[in-house]
A and B are shown apart, each in its own frame.
Chain A
Amino acid sequence: MFQDDLDDSAFDAELNNDVRRLKQSWLNEKNAPEILQFESELVKDLTDNVQTQIRQLSEIQSSDVMTAFANNLKRMEYDRLLFVIRSYLRTRLTKIQRHAMYILSSAEMRQRLSPEELRFTHSYVTLSEQHYSNSCLHDFPEMIQRLDEKGMIPEPDLQTHVFCKVMEDVGDVEIERADVSGVNSVTLLKGDQFLLRYEPIRPLVANGSVVLL
């Protein structure tokens, strides 16, 4: 019994952490100009948890007012989680639609997608190519029918500015200046918040030492 209790509490702390991580991934994804690595395990684990909760709630048949009340609260709680998961996925889909051809053209970007997202990207590109071709491109001279010429593919603007918070001491980061040639260094210490360009902190967002706000 005692052992069970221990296991339960450890389990709980981990779940808590999953929810916190999902919310941070949601923030990062909303604010980063490019698509980030898909949090497949996180999304899968939490979706499974929600499914289990839904199943358990549907199995309880009780006329007791308090039980009904408790179930209602649990429903509210998993609805909140589902909202975050959905918004996270839709944010990603929006980015994929914006940069579909760019993502397909880069192996690094492709591996950031889930298998489902990758399938979506392929069919999205096929469909839009068909559409452009049917609606106008087939009337153009052959030499300008292509959609993937250099400079035609919209890419994410990695130079855009973002708000970020430093989660652990990083030290000095060198950032290229725009007005004169040369670099300035910025010291990133835990707890500091900055408004700066995304590109220099790109690896720090990926490894979690900096989060976007």
Chain B
Amino acid sequence: MAKRFLEFTAAEVEFLAEDTIITIVPNFQMDMLFFISGTVGPFSPSLPVQVPVWLACTLKTRKRCSIQAPEWLDVAYLSAKLDEERMFHDRFIEMPEHFMEISAMLLECASDDIRNASQLRGIIEDICEIRYAKARHGLSILQDNPVATQVNNLSLMEINSIRPFFIHAMNEFRNFAQTLQATRIRANEVP
């Protein structure tokens, strides 16, 4: 059966990230675009305009615009986040939504518009690694709360990558607990 329709793929998470709005500077003239999901533009040379990431990357690859890096795609900002992420072992630091996907897409298609692109790549990779290590470690303490685990600030991409393993593990924990409980009850019933 088509199991893939019941799961999110990394590409689908990236697809959702592509609707995030960023700023570009076009080099062409065009009227407002009436999209189904809203209007974009008008476009005038050198006038910054807000568009979804997918449009920004399309225009960029056709050399129709330059992309303005989002405020957070910055060495100082991300280095501070990296330090913060290292400081706390028991929780995730709040990051801009879809930061992994957006930075990957922008660094891929517009590395000439983004300052310190290679340094940024390194910092983001470090942040992702630390967060992933925390998530993996988190599984070993999952049993502490028997009913719900708080996972604040975990991004959709991260949730998606740990999902199969975590859901399976939690369901197994639950099965064990139920078996244990049933055994206890039965043991008590024996006179």
Verify A175–B148 contact, CB threshold 8 A: yes
A198 to chain B, nearest CB (A): 10
Contacts of A44 in B (CB 8 A): none
Verify A69–B177 contact, CB threshold 8 A: no
A65 to chain B, nearest CB (A): 10
Of residues 90 through 131 on chain A, the ones whose CB sits less than 8 Å from some CB of chain B are 90-91, 93-95, 97-98
Say which size band chain A's interface belongs to: 35 or more
From known contacts A91-B5, A197-B147, infer whether A70 and B37 are also in contact, taking CB-CB under 8 Å.
Answer: no
User: CB of A49 within 8 A of chain B?
Assistant: yes
Chain A at the B interface: SS class:
helix
User: CB of B61 within 8 A of chain A?
Assistant: no
User: CB of B95 within 8 A of chain A?
Assistant: no
Verify B177–A163 contact, CB threshold 8 A: no
Among A16, A78, A91, A195, which residue has its beta carbon within 8 angstroms of that of B149? Answer: A195
Contacts of B6 in A (CB 8 A): 30, 91, 94-95
User: CB of A7 within 8 A of chain B?
Assistant: no
Verify A196–B54 contact, CB threshold 8 A: no
Which one of A134-142, A144-152, A178-186 is at the interface?
A: A178-186
In the assembly, what is the distance between CA of A93 and CA of B15, in Å?
22
Say which size band chain B's interface belongs to: 35 or more
Q: For A31, A69, A163, which residue has the most chain B Cβ atoms within 10 angstroms? A: A163
Nearest B residue to A88 by beta-carbon distance? B5
In the assembly, what is the distance between CA of A70 and CA of B2, in Å?
36
User: CB of B174 within 8 A of chain A?
Assistant: yes
Which one of B103-111, B112-120, B123-131, B163-171 is at the interface?
A: B163-171
Contacts of A206 in B (CB 8 A): none
In the assembly, what is the distance between CA of A161 and CA of B171, in Å?
7
B19 to chain A, nearest CB (A): 8
Contacts of B174 in A (CB 8 A): 159, 161, 178, 197
User: CB of A42 within 8 A of chain B?
Assistant: no
From known contacts A87-B5, A90-B5, infer whether A186 and B54 are also in contact, taking CB-CB under 8 Å.
Answer: no
Contacts of A168 in B (CB 8 A): none
A122 to chain B, nearest CB (A): 19
Contacts of A78 in B (CB 8 A): 35-36
Verify B163–A163 contact, CB threshold 8 A: yes
> B-facing mask of A1-42, CB < 8 A → 1, else 0?
000000000001001100100010001001100000000000
Verify B170–A19 contact, CB threshold 8 A: no
Please provide the 10 A-B residue pairs with the shortest distance between their CB atoms, ordered closest to farther: A179-B177, A196-B148, A178-B177, A175-B147, A161-B170, A19-B37, A94-B5, A195-B149, A186-B148, A184-B147
Give me 23 A-to-B residue pairs in the complex whose CB atoms sit less than 8 angstroms apart, sorted by A's number. A12-B38, A12-B39, A15-B37, A15-B38, A66-B28, A80-B18, A90-B2, A91-B5, A91-B6, A93-B5, A94-B5, A98-B1, A159-B174, A160-B171, A163-B151, A179-B178, A184-B146, A184-B147, A194-B148, A195-B142, A195-B151, A195-B170, A196-B148
Which B residues form the contact surface with A (CB < 8 A)?
1-3, 5-8, 12, 15-16, 18-19, 28-31, 33-39, 54-55, 58, 142, 145-154, 156, 159, 163, 166-167, 170-171, 173-174, 177-178, 180-181
